[in-house]
Structure 1
Protein backbone atom coordinates (compact mmCIF):
# COMPACT_ATOMS: atom_id res chain seq x y z
CA UNK A 1 0.00 0.00 0.00
CA UNK A 2 2.77 2.47 0.90
CA UNK A 3 4.61 1.60 -2.29
CA UNK A 4 1.56 2.34 -4.46
CA UNK A 5 1.00 5.63 -2.61
CA UNK A 6 4.67 6.52 -3.09
CA UNK A 7 4.51 5.61 -6.80
CA UNK A 8 1.36 7.69 -7.23
CA UNK A 9 3.00 10.67 -5.48
CA UNK A 10 6.04 10.39 -7.76
CA UNK A 11 3.73 10.31 -10.81
CA UNK A 12 1.90 13.39 -9.48
CA UNK A 13 5.27 15.08 -8.97
CA UNK A 14 6.01 14.57 -12.67
CA UNK A 15 2.61 15.93 -13.77
CA UNK A 16 2.62 19.24 -15.68
CA UNK A 17 0.40 20.84 -13.01
CA UNK A 18 2.55 19.68 -10.09
CA UNK A 19 3.91 23.19 -9.46
CA UNK A 20 0.38 24.52 -9.08
CA UNK A 21 -0.50 21.70 -6.70
CA UNK A 22 2.63 22.47 -4.65
CA UNK A 23 1.75 26.18 -4.59
CA UNK A 24 -1.78 25.44 -3.35
CA UNK A 25 -0.56 23.03 -0.65
CA UNK A 26 2.21 25.42 0.50
CA UNK A 27 -0.25 28.33 0.58
CA UNK A 28 -2.92 26.47 2.53
CA UNK A 29 -0.44 24.80 4.92
CA UNK A 30 0.64 28.23 6.14
CA UNK A 31 -2.83 29.14 7.33
CA UNK A 32 -5.28 26.22 7.65
CA UNK A 33 -4.10 22.92 6.09
CA UNK A 34 -2.35 20.32 8.29
CA UNK A 35 -0.13 18.63 5.67
CA UNK A 36 3.27 20.28 4.97
CA UNK A 37 4.33 21.02 1.38
CA UNK A 38 7.31 18.68 1.78
CA UNK A 39 4.94 15.81 0.93
CA UNK A 40 4.88 17.12 -2.67
CA UNK A 41 8.13 19.05 -2.76
CA UNK A 42 10.42 16.11 -1.97
CA UNK A 43 9.03 13.77 -4.66
CA UNK A 44 8.95 16.65 -7.15
CA UNK A 45 12.66 17.32 -6.63
CA UNK A 46 13.49 13.61 -6.71
CA UNK A 47 11.57 13.30 -9.99
CA UNK A 48 13.14 16.44 -11.52
CA UNK A 49 16.35 17.45 -9.73
CA UNK A 50 17.12 20.09 -12.36
CA UNK A 51 14.07 22.05 -11.12
CA UNK A 52 14.99 21.84 -7.42
CA UNK A 53 15.55 25.59 -7.01
CA UNK A 54 12.38 26.53 -8.89
CA UNK A 55 10.37 24.07 -6.80
CA UNK A 56 11.82 25.55 -3.59
CA UNK A 57 11.04 29.07 -4.84
CA UNK A 58 7.42 28.16 -5.62
CA UNK A 59 7.05 26.62 -2.14
CA UNK A 60 8.65 29.70 -0.56
CA UNK A 61 6.49 32.28 -2.33
CA UNK A 62 3.26 30.34 -1.83
CA UNK A 63 4.07 29.62 1.80
CA UNK A 64 4.83 33.26 2.64
CA UNK A 65 1.65 34.39 0.86
CA UNK A 66 -0.28 31.75 2.79
CA UNK A 67 1.40 32.96 5.95
CA UNK A 68 0.07 36.43 5.20
CA UNK A 69 -3.41 34.90 4.96
CA UNK A 70 -2.81 33.28 8.37
CA UNK A 71 -1.67 36.65 9.70
CA UNK A 72 -4.87 38.25 8.32
CA UNK A 73 -6.98 35.51 9.91
CA UNK A 74 -5.37 36.28 13.25
CA UNK A 75 -5.62 40.04 12.83
CA UNK A 76 -9.14 40.34 11.42
CA UNK A 77 -10.95 37.03 11.89
CA UNK A 78 -9.47 35.58 15.05
CA UNK A 79 -12.79 35.01 16.79
CA UNK A 80 -14.54 33.37 13.83
CA UNK A 81 -11.69 31.49 12.08
CA UNK A 82 -8.41 31.73 14.00
CA UNK A 83 -9.78 30.70 17.40
CA UNK A 84 -11.41 27.48 16.06
CA UNK A 85 -8.23 26.48 14.19
CA UNK A 86 -6.08 27.06 17.28
CA UNK A 87 -8.69 25.47 19.59
CA UNK A 88 -8.63 22.35 17.40
CA UNK A 89 -4.90 22.21 18.09
CA UNK A 90 -5.46 22.62 21.84
CA UNK A 91 -4.27 26.22 22.07
CA UNK A 92 -7.53 28.15 22.49
CA UNK A 93 -7.47 28.62 26.28
CA UNK A 94 -3.83 29.62 26.57
CA UNK A 95 -4.02 32.39 23.98
CA UNK A 96 -4.74 35.35 26.26
CA UNK A 97 -1.71 34.73 28.46
CA UNK A 98 0.45 33.94 25.48
CA UNK A 99 -0.49 37.17 23.68
CA UNK A 100 1.56 39.39 25.96
CA UNK A 101 4.69 37.25 25.74
CA UNK A 102 4.52 36.33 22.07
CA UNK A 103 5.64 39.61 20.53
CA UNK A 104 8.67 39.78 22.81
CA UNK A 105 9.96 36.64 21.08
CA UNK A 106 7.95 36.93 17.84
CA UNK A 107 10.95 36.95 15.50
CA UNK A 108 12.27 33.73 17.05
CA UNK A 109 8.83 32.11 17.13
CA UNK A 110 8.26 32.75 13.43
CA UNK A 111 11.79 31.66 12.56
CA UNK A 112 11.53 28.44 14.57
CA UNK A 113 8.08 27.51 13.26
CA UNK A 114 9.10 28.32 9.70
CA UNK A 115 12.09 25.98 9.77
CA UNK A 116 10.96 23.11 11.99
CA UNK A 117 8.05 20.64 11.84
CA UNK A 118 6.19 22.89 14.33
CA UNK A 119 2.89 23.85 12.60
CA UNK A 120 3.67 27.16 10.92
CA UNK A 121 -0.02 28.08 10.69
CA UNK A 122 -0.20 28.43 14.48
CA UNK A 123 2.48 31.12 14.40
CA UNK A 124 1.01 32.92 11.38
CA UNK A 125 -2.40 33.21 13.04
CA UNK A 126 -0.90 34.18 16.39
CA UNK A 127 1.32 36.80 14.74
CA UNK A 128 -1.72 38.56 13.34
CA UNK A 129 -3.72 38.16 16.52
CA UNK A 130 -1.01 39.59 18.75
CA UNK A 131 -0.31 42.47 16.37
CA UNK A 132 3.27 41.56 15.48
CA UNK A 133 4.55 44.20 13.04
CA UNK A 134 3.71 42.94 9.54
CA UNK A 135 7.17 43.82 8.19
CA UNK A 136 8.87 41.74 10.89
CA UNK A 137 6.50 38.85 10.23
CA UNK A 138 7.01 38.88 6.45
CA UNK A 139 10.80 39.28 6.62
CA UNK A 140 11.14 36.51 9.19
CA UNK A 141 8.77 34.25 7.22
CA UNK A 142 10.84 34.73 4.07
CA UNK A 143 14.04 33.95 5.95
CA UNK A 144 12.63 30.88 7.73
CA UNK A 145 10.79 29.36 4.79
CA UNK A 146 13.69 30.02 2.40
CA UNK A 147 16.04 28.32 4.82
CA UNK A 148 13.75 25.32 5.14
CA UNK A 149 12.82 24.85 1.48
CA UNK A 150 16.20 25.70 -0.06
CA UNK A 151 18.13 23.48 2.35
CA UNK A 152 15.82 20.57 1.47
CA UNK A 153 16.14 21.40 -2.23
CA UNK A 154 19.92 21.64 -1.98
CA UNK A 155 20.23 18.31 -0.18
CA UNK A 156 17.94 16.58 -2.65
CA UNK A 157 19.64 18.23 -5.63
CA UNK A 158 23.10 17.28 -4.41
CA UNK A 159 22.31 13.82 -3.08
CA UNK A 160 19.12 13.02 -4.98
CA UNK A 161 19.79 9.50 -6.24
CA UNK A 162 21.23 8.13 -2.99
CA UNK A 163 18.39 9.78 -1.06
CA UNK A 164 15.81 8.41 -3.49
CA UNK A 165 17.34 4.93 -3.19
CA UNK A 166 17.35 5.25 0.60
CA UNK A 167 13.70 6.34 0.67
CA UNK A 168 12.59 3.63 -1.75
CA UNK A 169 14.42 0.87 0.14
CA UNK A 170 13.14 2.07 3.52
CA UNK A 171 9.72 3.42 2.59
CA UNK A 172 8.05 2.15 5.76
CA UNK A 173 10.72 3.71 7.95
CA UNK A 174 10.55 7.03 6.07
CA UNK A 175 6.75 7.10 6.39
CA UNK A 176 7.01 6.36 10.11
CA UNK A 177 9.61 9.11 10.64
CA UNK A 178 7.49 11.59 8.68
CA UNK A 179 4.42 10.74 10.76
CA UNK A 180 6.41 11.05 14.01
CA UNK A 181 7.63 14.51 12.97
CA UNK A 182 4.16 15.60 11.86
CA UNK A 183 2.39 14.32 14.97
CA UNK A 184 5.26 15.55 17.17
CA UNK A 185 4.75 19.06 15.81
CA UNK A 186 1.07 18.96 16.71
CA UNK A 187 1.84 17.52 20.16
CA UNK A 188 4.31 20.35 20.75
CA UNK A 189 1.62 22.85 19.85
CA UNK A 190 -0.87 21.22 22.18
CA UNK A 191 1.39 21.09 25.23
CA UNK A 192 3.56 24.20 24.87
Structure 2
Protein backbone atom coordinates (compact mmCIF):
# COMPACT_ATOMS: atom_id res chain seq x y z
CA UNK A 1 0.00 0.00 0.00
CA UNK A 2 1.48 3.38 -0.96
CA UNK A 3 2.23 5.88 1.78
CA UNK A 4 0.03 8.94 2.14
CA UNK A 5 1.32 12.30 1.03
CA UNK A 6 1.12 15.29 3.33
CA UNK A 7 -1.72 16.73 1.24
CA UNK A 8 -3.73 13.53 1.48
CA UNK A 9 -3.17 13.44 5.23
CA UNK A 10 -4.30 17.07 5.53
CA UNK A 11 -7.43 16.27 3.51
CA UNK A 12 -8.15 13.38 5.89
CA UNK A 13 -7.59 15.69 8.86
CA UNK A 14 -9.97 18.25 7.37
CA UNK A 15 -12.67 15.63 6.88
CA UNK A 16 -12.21 14.14 10.34
CA UNK A 17 -12.19 17.56 12.05
CA UNK A 18 -15.29 18.69 10.16
CA UNK A 19 -17.26 15.57 11.06
CA UNK A 20 -16.02 15.65 14.66
CA UNK A 21 -17.62 19.08 15.15
CA UNK A 22 -21.08 17.78 14.30
CA UNK A 23 -23.20 15.43 16.36
CA UNK A 24 -21.46 12.54 14.59
CA UNK A 25 -18.46 10.96 16.31
CA UNK A 26 -15.01 11.58 14.94
CA UNK A 27 -11.37 11.15 15.84
CA UNK A 28 -9.79 14.41 14.75
CA UNK A 29 -7.41 14.48 17.72
CA UNK A 30 -5.93 11.12 16.77
CA UNK A 31 -5.64 12.15 13.12
CA UNK A 32 -3.96 15.43 14.11
CA UNK A 33 -1.44 13.73 16.39
CA UNK A 34 -0.66 11.08 13.77
CA UNK A 35 -0.06 13.79 11.18
CA UNK A 36 2.13 15.82 13.56
CA UNK A 37 4.19 12.76 14.42
CA UNK A 38 4.76 11.99 10.72
CA UNK A 39 5.28 15.59 9.53
CA UNK A 40 6.39 17.65 12.57
CA UNK A 41 7.48 20.52 10.32
CA UNK A 42 3.82 20.96 9.29
CA UNK A 43 2.44 21.43 12.80
CA UNK A 44 1.13 24.95 12.15
CA UNK A 45 -0.55 23.85 8.91
CA UNK A 46 -2.11 20.85 10.63
CA UNK A 47 -3.43 22.97 13.51
CA UNK A 48 -4.85 25.53 11.06
CA UNK A 49 -6.55 22.85 8.94
CA UNK A 50 -8.03 21.16 12.01
CA UNK A 51 -9.23 24.44 13.53
CA UNK A 52 -10.80 25.72 10.30
CA UNK A 53 -12.50 22.40 9.49
CA UNK A 54 -13.77 21.96 13.05
CA UNK A 55 -15.08 25.53 13.05
CA UNK A 56 -16.87 24.94 9.74
CA UNK A 57 -18.44 21.81 11.18
CA UNK A 58 -19.69 23.79 14.17
CA UNK A 59 -21.00 26.54 11.91
CA UNK A 60 -22.95 23.87 10.04
CA UNK A 61 -24.61 23.03 13.36
CA UNK A 62 -25.18 26.77 13.91
CA UNK A 63 -27.01 27.02 10.56
CA UNK A 64 -29.10 23.96 11.41
CA UNK A 65 -29.95 25.60 14.75
CA UNK A 66 -31.28 28.66 12.91
CA UNK A 67 -33.98 26.45 11.43
CA UNK A 68 -34.54 24.26 14.49
CA UNK A 69 -38.21 24.49 15.51
CA UNK A 70 -37.85 23.18 19.07
CA UNK A 71 -35.67 23.81 22.06
CA UNK A 72 -32.20 22.36 22.00
CA UNK A 73 -30.16 21.08 24.96
CA UNK A 74 -31.14 23.02 28.06
CA UNK A 75 -27.55 22.98 29.35
CA UNK A 76 -26.33 24.64 26.16
CA UNK A 77 -29.14 27.21 26.33
CA UNK A 78 -28.32 27.89 29.99
CA UNK A 79 -24.65 28.48 29.18
CA UNK A 80 -25.50 30.79 26.30
CA UNK A 81 -28.08 32.68 28.34
CA UNK A 82 -25.53 33.21 31.12
CA UNK A 83 -22.37 33.87 29.10
CA UNK A 84 -23.66 34.90 25.67
CA UNK A 85 -21.37 34.25 22.73
CA UNK A 86 -18.42 33.75 25.10
CA UNK A 87 -19.79 30.28 25.89
CA UNK A 88 -18.94 29.29 22.32
CA UNK A 89 -15.25 29.29 23.30
CA UNK A 90 -16.15 25.89 24.77
CA UNK A 91 -17.72 24.43 21.62
CA UNK A 92 -14.83 21.93 21.62
CA UNK A 93 -16.03 20.19 24.80
CA UNK A 94 -17.43 16.67 24.48
CA UNK A 95 -21.24 16.33 24.50
CA UNK A 96 -22.36 19.86 25.46
CA UNK A 97 -19.87 21.48 23.07
CA UNK A 98 -21.60 19.97 20.05
CA UNK A 99 -24.91 21.50 21.07
CA UNK A 100 -23.57 25.00 21.80
CA UNK A 101 -23.39 26.08 18.12
CA UNK A 102 -26.82 24.55 17.52
CA UNK A 103 -28.21 26.54 20.46
CA UNK A 104 -26.41 29.70 19.30
CA UNK A 105 -28.12 29.42 15.93
CA UNK A 106 -31.47 28.79 17.57
CA UNK A 107 -30.99 31.85 19.82
CA UNK A 108 -29.96 33.94 16.79
CA UNK A 109 -26.59 34.91 18.24
CA UNK A 110 -24.64 36.81 15.58
CA UNK A 111 -23.12 34.38 13.09
CA UNK A 112 -19.91 36.43 12.93
CA UNK A 113 -19.53 36.55 16.72
CA UNK A 114 -20.26 32.81 16.84
CA UNK A 115 -17.67 32.11 14.14
CA UNK A 116 -14.98 34.10 15.97
CA UNK A 117 -15.60 32.57 19.41
CA UNK A 118 -15.86 29.03 18.03
CA UNK A 119 -12.65 29.44 16.00
CA UNK A 120 -10.68 30.84 18.95
CA UNK A 121 -11.73 27.98 21.22
CA UNK A 122 -11.05 25.29 18.66
CA UNK A 123 -7.72 26.77 17.55
CA UNK A 124 -6.59 27.00 21.18
CA UNK A 125 -7.57 23.39 21.83
CA UNK A 126 -5.85 21.99 18.72
CA UNK A 127 -2.76 24.15 19.38
CA UNK A 128 -2.48 22.92 22.97
CA UNK A 129 -2.94 19.33 21.85
CA UNK A 130 -0.48 19.45 18.94
CA UNK A 131 2.23 21.47 20.65
CA UNK A 132 1.87 19.53 23.88
CA UNK A 133 2.27 16.31 21.91
CA UNK A 134 5.26 17.72 20.00
CA UNK A 135 7.01 18.47 23.30
CA UNK A 136 7.07 14.75 24.04
CA UNK A 137 9.53 14.21 21.19
1:145-160 correspondence runs (5 A): 145-159=122-136
SS at match of 1:131: coil
Is the helix fraction higher in 1 or 2? 1
CA RMSD of aligned residues (A): 2.6
**What are the ranges of 5 or more consecutive residues in structure 2 without an aligned counterpart?**
none
**What are the ranges of 5 or more consecutive residues in structure 1 without an aligned counterpart?**
1-10, 162-192
Q: CA deviation at 1:129?
A: 1.0
What's the CA shift string for 1:57-99, capped at 9, x where partnerless?
Answer: 10011111111111001002x24xx97xx6xxxx4xx48xx64
Correspondence 1:106 to 2:84: yes
Q: CA deviation at 1:121?
A: 2.0
Correspondence 1:123 to 2:100: yes
Match in the other structure for 1:15: 4
SS at match of 1:105: helix
**Distance across 1 between alignment mates of 2:124 and 2:108:** 25
Match in the other structure for 1:27: 18
Match in the other structure for 1:70: 61
Q: In the superposition, relative to structure 1, how do residues 33 and 105 fare at CA in structure 2: closer, same or farther (>3 Å)?
A: same
Query: How many residues are treated as equivalent by the alignment?
Result: 134
Whether contact under 8 Å (2:90, 2:118) holds in the other structure is: no
Instruction: Name the TM-score, length of structure 1 as normaliser.
Output: 0.60
Q: Which has the larger radius of gyration?
A: 1
Instruction: Name the TM-score, length of structure 2 as normaliser.
Output: 0.81
SS at match of 2:133: helix
**Distance across 2 between alignment mates of 1:31 and 1:131:** 19
**Distance across 2 between alignment mates of 1:74 and 1:145:** 19
